[in-house]
Amino acid sequence: MTSVPAADAARTDAVLPLVGSTIDVARERRLTLGAEVSHHFNAAGSALPTAAVVSAVVAHLRLEEQVGGYEAAAHVKDHVEAVYGSAAALLGCSADEIALFDSASTGLRVLLDAFRPAPGSRIIASRSTYVSHALHLMTLQRERGIDLVLAPVDAHRRVDLDALEALLADGRPTVLTIAHVPTSSGLVEPVDEIGVLARRYGAAYLLDATQSVGHLHIDVARIGCQVLVTTGRKFLRAPRGTALAFVQRDCTALLPPTAPDVRGAQWIDAFSWDVSGTARRFETWEAGIAGRLGLGVALEEANRRGIVETAGWLTATGDQVRESLRAIPGVTIADPHGSDSAIVTFLVDGVESARVSAALADRQVRVVSVPATHGQWDLGDRAIASIVRASPHVYNDEADISRLLEGVADIARKEARR
């Protein structure tokens, strides 16, 4: 066990041992070019990919350059097929239950629409819902008369299970949409317990796992969701413009796509068509094949590293960063009590979050500022204009963490002197 050097004398006591036994951080850094370029703490935005992911993308673009897009796609057909199996292995489902998308927001929109929420039916959404999905939900409420209800939260801002049960018990047709981990804090929703309630009361259960796939151990059968959506570029470390979804097999049969595409449907007669029996019925023909190959490599790497080990390391490192930041004078942790993911959010007294992230960028420390406009049901509800978000991944070493802590302490100290 090693320890993180103190950021400054005032917080020496807060330095905790870096948990690193299950992940070979040095190896991860060798595989990740960007780990030497900056102290990157933005996995929740878009993580650093490995060189192997980038090479797969570039090699395919070079092949397209030489032989043409369709010909290149035919050449790598088996590799693209393998992406479905790798995603299924990570989530604990079958390859035919996987659909590929270009973003999580597209997947959430296409799959929520496939439930065809009818006027008067109800959608219960968690307060952790991401902006783009929330905007879609509010549009359905406005234009289609959907009853949009925000799930009540407990003292720690997680979905209040008793209150949720009381809502579901009236038996109304309901789609539950829950963000496993939000964009705006390190909170982890009680997704297994929500799944028990969804099953008990026959509600459809859609899980936005954009911030949790590649980060936490996910088993869709245990959670009991019908649909799970995630993006590639965050904790999965895949290229931008990639995303995937799980659609439970029995559920797929009940959900025709609202806008079938030639990828997942066959036009068999002047006015009739068949749709695929698999989750691919929700896909579109046109897609960035290079990105999908990169996604495949990232999924293989995540599976090889082991999600249980990765999740253990990430959450322990998140806790360590959170506790070390908490000990810095002038810093307030913004995560609700009990948050235990690798997303750490905080505020520096008297300094706007955007200024904190810009000042850290000057020190080659990459974090982001998340404004309330990305999560009004959470940040807005807590009257927080914006937070600073730091999200480590397996390539962050002790020196990275020290630089983050030193930078934040320095910014807080300078502000205290003003």
Ligand X SMILES: Cc1ncc(COP(=O)(O)O)c(C=O)c1O
Smallest gap from residue 241 Cβ to ligand X (A):
9
Shortest Å, Cβ 203 to ligand X: 20
Q: How far is the CB of 123 from ligand X (least distance, A)?
A: 16
Integer Cα distance of 158 and 270 in angstroms:
51
Estimate the crossing angle of helix 51-67 against helix 289-305, to 10 degrees. 150
404 near ligand X, judged by CB under 6 A: no
Among 208, 283, 397, 406, binds ligand X (CB under 6 A): 208
The smaller minimum CB distance to ligand X, of residues 208 and 283, is found at: 208
Close Cβ partners of 248 (under 8 Å, ≥ 6 residues apart):
93, 97, 220, 225, 226, 227
Stretch that binds ligand X, among 27-35, 55-63, 177-185, 258-266 (CB under 6 A): 177-185
Pick the binder of ligand X from 86, 126, 211, 341 (CB under 6 A).
211
Q: At what angle do helices 77-91 and 289-305 cross, to 10 degrees?
A: 40
When binding is defined by CB under 6 A, the residue of 18, 43, 53, 104 that contacts ligand X is 104
Nearer to ligand X, 32 or 212 (CB): 212
Report whether 414 contacts 351 (CB < 8 A).
no
Select from 176-184, 193-201, 313-321, 379-387 the region that touches ligand X (CB under 6 A). Answer: 176-184
Write down the residue that tokens 């990828």 correspond to.
263
132 touching ligand X, by CB under 6 A: yes
Contact residue for ligand X among 41, 84, 115, 130 (CB under 6 A):
130
Q: CB of 183: closest distance to ligand X in angstroms? A: 3
> Of 160-168, 179-187, 188-196, 336-344, which segment contacts ligand X by CB under 6 A?
179-187
| Amino acid at position 160, single letter | D
* Residue 241-260 contact track with ligand X, rule CB under 6 A, x = bound: --x-----------------
CB nearer to ligand X: pick between 235 and 395? 235
- Closest separation in Å from C-beta 295 to ligand X: 12
Segment interacting with ligand X, rule: CB under 6 A, options 6-14, 72-80, 88-96, 102-110: 102-110
Q: Please tell me the distance from the alpha carbon of residue 240 to that of residue 107, in angstroms, as a whole number.
A: 15
Residue that the structure tokens 């309330």 belong to = 372
Q: Minimal distance in Å, beta carbon 104 to ligand X?
A: 3
Q: Which stretch binds ligand X (CB under 6 A): 62-70, 205-213, 216-224, 303-311?
A: 205-213
Q: Does 369 bind ligand X (CB under 6 A)?
A: no
User: Per rule CB under 6 A, is residue 103 in the interface with ligand X?
Assistant: yes
**Where in 273-302 is the site for ligand X (CB under 6 A)?**
none
Among 42, 50, 105, 276, binds ligand X (CB under 6 A): 105
Segment lying near ligand X (by CB under 6 A), choices 84-92, 100-108, 266-274, 301-309:
100-108
Minimum gap (Å) between residue 71 Cβ and ligand X: 29
Q: Which range touches ligand X (CB under 6 A), out of 57-65, 99-107, 300-308, 318-326?
A: 99-107
Q: List contacts with ligand X (CB under 6 A).
A: 103-105, 130, 132, 179, 182-183, 208, 210-211, 231, 243
